[in-house]
Amino acid sequence: MVPEGIMALIQILLFPGFLFLIALAFFHEWVDRKLLAKLQNRYGPLYTGPAGLLQPFADFIKLLSKEDITPKAADKFMFSCAPLFMLSFPLLALFLIPVTGLTASISFEGDLIFLMFLFTLIAITIFIAGWSSVSRFSTVGGVRAAFQMLGYEIPMTLVMVGPAIAARTLSISQIVGWQTHNAAWFIWLQPIGFAIFVLCLLAELEFIPFDIPEAETEIVAGWFTEFSGRKLALIRLGKDVELVLAASLITSLFLGGPNSSLPILATGFFLLKTTLAVVLFTTLRALFARFRIDQMIAGAWKYLIPLAILQMVLIQLGFGRW
Amino acid sequence: MSYPTIRIPFGPQHPFHIEPEYFMFEVDGERVVSVKPRIGYVHRGIEKAIEDRTFIQNLYLIERICGICSHAHTTCYTQAIEEILGVEIPPRARFIRTIIAELERIHNHYLWLGLAAHEIGFETLFMYTWRDREIVMDLLELLSGNRVHYAMNTLGGVRRDITPEIVEKIRKGLDALEERMRYYKKIAMTEPTISKRANGIGILKPKDALALCAVGPTLRASGIKRDVRADDPYIAYSEIPFNVITYDRCDVISRLFVRCDEVFESVNIIRYAMEHLPEGKIRIKVPRRVPEGEAVSRVEAPRGELIHYAKTNGTTKPERYKVRSPTLGNIPSLCKMLVGGYIADIPIVIAGIDPCFSCTDRMAFVNVNNNKQWILSGEELRRYAIKWYRKE
Amino acid sequence: MGLFKWARTRSPWIIHFNTGGCNGCDIEVMAALTPRFDVERFGIIIRGSPRHADMLVVTGPVTRQVRDRLVRIYEQMPEPKFVIAVGTCAISGAPFMGCYNVHGGIDAVIPVDAYVPGCPPKPEAIIDGIVKLIPKLRAG
Amino acid sequence: MTKGIAKENQIVDKVKEVIGKSVLEIEIPRPRRIFILIDKKAFGKATHYLTKKMRFSHVSTITGVDVGKEIEVIYHLNRGGTIELSLKVRVAKDKPVLPTIIDLIPGATLYEREVHDLLGVTFEGHPDLSPIILPEGWPPDVYPLRKEWTLKKVQKRIMKGGKQ
């Protein structure tokens, strides 16, 4: 009935594709801001849309309508490309995550490795954005982002490989399939791995304990000080989509993902679990003060990496395997 | 090989620093090699303006030297002029001035705790402390009608009286304030992230503190027992028992504890003062023309020793009036603390001495403006510096 | 264009700059962010960089030293931008009128859209100033 | 008001022993306050004696006052937080030079710079006397706190000579 091509197009553009993901990004930013405000004994956005639901959308549209300034001294080409990369990498990565069933839109053996590569690319885009806008504050922010990547990249990769070894596959869809098949989520099988993964994702998202690259009190707005107007809108959307990516990664790797093949039920589970993951991120964000960059890297190398290796050893000994 | 030292600007416009201040850091790698604060942004030339205003008009101007320690400035001013006039203000006025001074100290310390928490990125504690600060702001508004500039002091006494219902409301407010501050002190002691960012940071040894003439909580956090309220008692402090708080860890966390304990002391002082509030007038007539004379008056402002020097020539306008605010006394010690530390520690160490550049700036100090950037080669940064700060 | 207008009035981001005031107004501007007044209900956030902000909240009489920093910050803000002068110092230089180092009000230096009198104005007054500016935002 | 100024009298007597002849004026208006006016010649000896022997090691501030032909520089020294001794020295207006006390009290660097900025008193031996309080582009010969510079004259001079 409907030819194959159009179905694929709809899948990419509409349902589990751009529109759905961007709407989910706005929804998750709303959840994040409202919960953070509640934890800080405040209301948070109230008047734009029902209970402030459309606030992130309003911010995005307003930024689109603002004047877009490129500093004279900035490196023009990279300065305008960085926001585009910042948005496209997380969106691309999200196609690897199963949303409406046990298999994602794109799933091939080894897409977990491809995902890790995308994470590194995001960190490099942040560095390029900071470096190309040449403002003193953004250069410091960019360099700090690069340093922070050195800190969290290794433990994160080690811990992401945990479930892959247990499920003996390198494809996220199969990991989700394995978890639903054996009805055993990796959060119970590899708790240490889960904890480290959450911490590393916090660092990757630059949330409070690790928001060193954009530490407001030290370096104004960090690596994206110079961006304004459309570019800033794209960067903020990119960061929101990154939040969705982090939450959906936790869901698929550790919380069993959409563990049913029926599309409606699967999406329902997926939404529920990702929102739970965002709630977890926000609560952690509200409870900590910001670390110094050297403390963060020292902490990562002294504690996270040994723990990640311990987790790997445990899997080998058969604990995380079932 | 050592990197070329880079100049790091810090200010003048800063998202959460209330006032424009501007520090030039020479940085080698991540370590601060030398510090040159440069302010002058808030220098309004107040001393010159004081000389061509009458004594009553000066009350309005001196109160606006600083938003947070406005009562301390007016107490110091009225004390100096009353000393030259040889006038003794009624005891009830002295007690009311003390109550307002201690309420202002509580207000300042709560505000400082919130700002310090914000400096190290602890948003939630900033929101909580500033929410509880509203209690003391309401009390001050109840007493004087305004949240910040209270205009309670006038030459010869106080403008408004304290009625028994207000006393009752203050007592309830104080219980809440004391209980909340105990909770925040417990957090400051136990929360690992705070101690990670404030423990052992910005060390000021007692020897340096004395040599560089530090004042207030910064001095008392280095173990030296100096407090103008106890050493050189003024208004009603000689009749109220209280003890001077000192900690001897000489770092930012001990400055935090000194301020927390001072809130408890202030609460007890206010309770004692309200119980022993003497009856009688709250103001006496004071002649407009002040005889010739001079006076030095000192007050323990929330940030440290505040000193005013007044010289009058028998007319209705002062001949010369000098104000030295506590922050200016602490800046040499601040430079000493910053050298050798990390760049990321700069905000919390600066916040440690609770700088009030509005007071300081009617004075000034060490030159060289500053920039804040990290290592990397100096060339690219200089290219941008020309655009960012044309003053360079 | 209706969508842009709606969006612009729903999320006015502010940046705060003290040009030599006594910081009474500044603590009131920051008090507006805290739980009791919470301007985030209207979508107002305080931003660090002039590039991100729509409204420049200025307090204090412009001292001679700060004057060109203020102009530079104003120039760096993207259009459409607005300026709110908070406190009588910002409006006319109030008690510091005639001091040798003071320029007087903000409008001697940059165009001002809203004035919030008071010394210092209460947080409610500051929020009211921003809310009154929103129709102007709608005009763009 | 002579009650309780025994300690202050002791201090004044000790000071008189050391630099008796050049002490021009002494005044103790109230407990814990002493004003001593000394001749410029004995300034070095007096400050050394007070800070080292008498332990007035804390300088609260340094005030500059324009008294017609001369500029009076007042050092507010403090001992143990209690007694405040104001040491006054008079300096001719056309050649206002005083030795610095930074070697005795390091904390005085800022106060000396401020007096230099606003009143034009130069302190020999001070490492860095460049302007601190006044904005960049302030005409170097204008000392705002001197009596001959009235507010209007300063305003006019800045508009004409200064940058803004």
Report chain A's terminal Cα–Cα distance, integer Å.
Answer: 43
Distance from CA of B148 to the nearest CA of C (A): 6
Please tell me the distance from the alpha carbon of residue A37 to that of residue A52, in angstroms, as a whole number. Answer: 12
- Pairwise CA distance, residues B184 & B111, whole Å: 13
Contact B261, B267 (CB under 8 A): no
User: Considering only CB atoms, which chain C residues are within 8 Å of A60?
Assistant: 7
Q: What is the pLDDT of residue B268?
A: 93
What pLDDT was estimated at residue B75? 92
A30 occurs within a structural domain: yes
**pLDDT category, B106, cuts 50, 70, 90?**
very high
Is the pLDDT confidence value at B181 over 90? yes
Domains, chain B, in order of start with CATH, read: 6-42+328-391 (3.30.390), 55-322 (1.10.645.10)
**Which chain B residues touch D if contact means CB-CB below 8 Å?**
38, 40, 43, 45, 47-49, 52, 83, 210-214, 226-228, 230-232, 293-296, 298, 305, 307, 309, 311, 319-320, 322, 324, 328-329, 331-332, 361, 363-367, 391
- CA-to-CA distance for A17 and A20, rounded, in angstroms? 6
Tokens 């004379």 found at: B293
Q: Which domain holds residue A306?
A: 4-316
Contacts of A36 in chain B (CB under 8 A): 123
Give C 79-98 residues with CB within 8 A of chain A: 79-80
Q: Scanning every residue of chain B, which has its alpha carbon at the shortest distance from the alpha carbon of D72?
A: B320
CA angle D136, D138, D143 (to 5 degrees): 135
Identify the chains in contact with B, defined as 3+ C-beta pairs within 8 A. Answer: A, C, D
Interface of C with D (CB under 8 A): 63-65, 67, 98, 100-101, 103
Residue B360: the pLDDT is 43
Task: Tell whether C65 is within 8 A of chain B (Cβ).
Answer: yes
Give yes or no for a contact between D55 and D33, defined as CB atoms under 8 angstroms apart: no
Instruction: Classify residue A192: in a domain, yes or no.
Output: yes
- List per-residue pLDDT tens for chain A, 322 residues long: 567 888 878 777 777 778 888 999 999 999 999 998 998 888 888 888 888 888 999 999 988 888 888 888 888 888 888 899 999 999 888 888 888 777 777 888 888 899 999 988 988 888 888 888 877 777 777 887 888 888 888 888 888 888 888 888 888 888 888 888 888 888 888 888 899 999 888 888 887 777 777 665 556 667 777 888 888 899 989 999 999 999 999 988 888 878 777 778 888 888 899 999 999 999 988 888 887 777 888 888 888 889 989 888 888 887 655 5
pLDDT of residue B3: 45
C-proximal residues of D, 119-138, CB under 8 Å: 134-136, 138
Instruction: Identify which of B126, B134, B148 has the shortest CB distance to residue C120.
Output: B148
Sign of the Cα pseudo-torsion (A260, A262, A264, A265, in order): negative
B384 pLDDT more than 80 = no
CB contact under 8 A, C48 and A216: yes
| Predicted pLDDT at B102 | 93
pLDDT, one tens digit per residue, over B11-59 is 555 444 445 556 667 777 667 787 776 655 556 778 888 888 889 888 8
Count of positions (residues) in chain B: 392
Closest residue in chain D to residue C97, using alpha carbons only:
D151
Asked if A136 and B383 come within 8 Å (Cβ–Cβ), the reply is: no
Segment B318-351, tens digit of pLDDT: 888 888 888 888 888 888 888 888 777 777 888 7
> Whose structure tokens read 């954009």?
A214
pLDDT along chain C (140 residues), means of 10: 84 84 83 86 84 87 79 86 89 78 81 90 89 79
Whether B171 shows a pLDDT value over 90: the answer reads yes
Residue A172 domain-assigned (yes or no): yes
Determine the Cα–Cα distance for residues D16 and C42; give it in Å rounded to an integer: 71
Judged by a CB distance cut-off of 8 A, whether residue D109 touches chain B is: yes
Would you call C52 an interface residue with chain B, using a CB distance cutoff of 8 Å? no
- Identify the chains in contact with D, defined as 3+ C-beta pairs within 8 A: B, C
Minimal Cβ distance to D151: which of C67, C100, C103: C100
pLDDT of res. D68: 83
Q: Chains A, C: CB contacts under 8 A, how many? A: 90
| Tokens 């925040």 -> residue | B184
Nearest chain C alpha carbon to D156: C100
Contact C100 D164 (CB under 8 A): no
Counting residues of chain B whose pLDDT is more than 90, the rounded percentage is: 29
D3 pLDDT band (50/70/90 cuts)? low
pLDDT at B42: 59
* Nearest C-alpha neighbor of A203 from the set A195, A212, A194: A212
- Looking at the domain assignment, is residue A179 inside a domain? yes
Alpha helices in chain A (DSSP H): 4-13, 18-39, 55-64, 76-94, 111-132, 136-167, 172-182, 186-189, 191-205, 229-254, 263-287, 293-299, 305-316
Of B194, B375, B388, the CB nearest to A289: B194
Look at residue D161 and tell me whether its pLDDT is greater than 60: no
**pLDDT for the residue numbered A315:** 84
| Interface contact B14, partner A, CB < 8 A | yes
Cis peptide before B12 (omega within 30 of 0): yes
| C3 in contact with chain A, both atoms CB, cutoff 8 A | yes
- Report, as an integer, the average pLDDT of D64-72: 87
What per-residue confidence (pLDDT) applies to A2? 65
Q: In what order do the strands lie in the sheet with B293-301?
A: B293-301, B304-312, B318-324
C-alpha span between B277 and B98 (Å, rounded): 11
Check CB contact under 8 Å for B328 and D130: no
**C60 in reach of chain B (CB within 8 A):** yes
Q: Please compute the mean of the pLDDT values over residues D153-160 and round it to a whole number.
A: 74
Chains A and B touch (3+ CB pairs under 8 A): yes
Least CB–CB distance from C49: residue in A59, A64, A225: A225
Longest dimension (CA), chain A: 60
d(CA A133, CA A138): 7
Verify whether the Cβ–Cβ distance C52 to A69 is below 8 Å.
no
- B5 has a pLDDT exceeding 60: no
pLDDT digits (tens, 9 = 90+) for B354-380: 776 555 433 222 222 233 322 222 222
Q: Report the gap between the CA of B47 and the closest CA in chain A (Å).
A: 33
Strand stretches in chain D, DSSP E: 23-27, 33-38, 58-67, 70-79, 83-92, 97-99, 122-124
**Summary mean pLDDT of chain B:** 80
ipTM of the complex: 0.85
The answer to whether the Cβ–Cβ distance between B374 and A139 falls below 8 Å is yes
Lookup: tokens for B80: 């100096």
| C11 to A48: CB separation less than 8 angstroms, yes or no | yes
Answer yes or no: is A321 within a domain. Answer: no
Do D and C make contact via 3 or more CB pairs under 8 A? The reply is yes
Q: Which pLDDT does position B23 carry in this prediction?
A: 66
Position A276 scores a pLDDT of 93
Integer Cα distance of B234 and B93 in angstroms: 12
How many Å apart are CA B383 and CA B375, to the nearest integer?
A: 15
User: How far does the CA of residue A224 sit from the closest CA of chain C (Å)?
Assistant: 9
Classify residue A140: in a domain, yes or no: yes
C15: left (phi over 0), alpha (psi -120 to 50) or beta: beta
For D35-54, the pLDDT digits (tens) are 999 888 888 888 888 888 88
pLDDT of residue B11: 53
Count of structural domains, chain A: 1
**How confident is the prediction for chain D on average, in pLDDT?**
83
Going from the C-alpha of B260 to that of each of B207, B340, B347, C29, the distances in angstroms are 24, 27, 20, 25
D107, D134, D145 ranked by CB distance to B212: nearest: D107
d(CA C130, CA D77): 50
Chain B neighbors of A219, CB-CB under 8 A: 372
Give the residue ranges of DSSP H helices in chain B: 46-50, 55-63, 70-85, 91-119, 123-144, 164-190, 192-198, 206-211, 216-220, 228-231, 252-275, 326-338, 346-352, 357-360, 378-388
Spatial CB neighbours of D102, under 8 Å, sequence gap ≥ 6: D108, D109, D112, D125, D126, D127
User: C126 CB near a chain B CB, below 8 Å?
Assistant: no
Each residue of B275-297: pLDDT tens digit? 999 999 989 998 888 899 899 99
Chains near C with 3+ CB pairs less than 8 A apart are A, B, D
Task: Indicate whether A322 belongs to any domain.
Answer: no
Query: Phi/psi zone of residue B241: left (φ > 0), alpha (ψ -120 to 50 degrees), beta?
Result: beta
